[in-house]
Amino acid sequence: MLTALEKQLLNDYQQEFPLTERPFLQIAEALSTREEVVIKAYQQFADQQIISRIGPVITPNHLGASALVAMAVNEEDLETVADLVSSYPNVNHNYERENAVNLWFVLMAEDESRLLDLVAEIEQRSGYNAMRLPMLADFYINLGFQLEWNDAEFG
């Protein structure tokens, strides 16, 4: 069961997360609670896999180098490979597609050389080939959305 504060943390800070030295303190002050309460809540969200990360989504190739990467992963390996990909702080997000090429992710690095090294490392560690796909057009998809609560599941 999620508390009203936890629901607010999940809903209200998908975007406009404070970019300050102590963002959790700023959130706590806005919500009339303590910084350690906010930190503990976000840590529990991560531990329970309610959230996967807190971090920026940077426009591709505006800072360093980035690529959309796709892999054709056997169904029985998909969760393991997706977890491996998600373990890299350089990965913005990954998702499954209903296709033979079924695992897609956005990878970022400080430069093109490091990006290529990361792709090669992911290939070596996963045992699957990765295709770097060129960005031909720039599209912005807002990844934030209003969460709706199922009282039976989330309280």
The tens digit of pLDDT for each residue in 113-137 reads 999 999 999 999 999 999 998 776 6
> For residue 68, what are the β-bridge partners?
106, 133
For the chain, the average pLDDT equals 87
Write the burial class of residue 28 (CB in 10 Å: 0-12 exposed, 13-18 middle, 19+ buried): buried
The verdict on pTM exceeding 0.85 is no
Q: Could you tell me the CA-to-CA distances from 114 to 33, 39, 84, 121, 139 in Å, in that order?
A: 41, 32, 18, 10, 24
